[in-house]
Amino acid sequence: MSYQEVSSLSQSWGLVFLVAMFAVAVAYALWPTNKEKFSKAAKSALDED
């Protein structure tokens, strides 16, 4: 394999990997069972305790 073949392969699979990781992060953030955790975390920054 030449450098250009390896470079092209790694760029395309790198893009696939990053898009998949982005999709997982968005799915985690929008998952209905996580709403309570995120709401609690948002309100805890405003607590005076």
Does some domain include residue 4? no
Q: How many CB atoms lie within 10 A of CB 34?
A: 13
Please report the pLDDT score of residue 9 as a whole number: 93
In this predicted model, what pLDDT tens digit does every residue of 1-48 receive, in sequence order? 899 999 999 999 999 999 999 999 999 999 999 999 999 988 887 877
For residue 43, the enclosing domain spans 23-49
Does some domain include residue 14? no
Q: For residue 34, what are the contacts with CB-CB under 8 A and spacing of at least 6? A: 28
Domain count, the chain: 1
Q: Is the pTM of this model over 0.85?
A: no
Please report the pLDDT score of residue 49 as a whole number: 62
Q: What is the DSSP string of 1-47?
A: --HHHHHHHHHHHHHHHHHHHHHHHHHHHH-GGGHHHHHHHHHHTT-
Does some domain include residue 44? yes
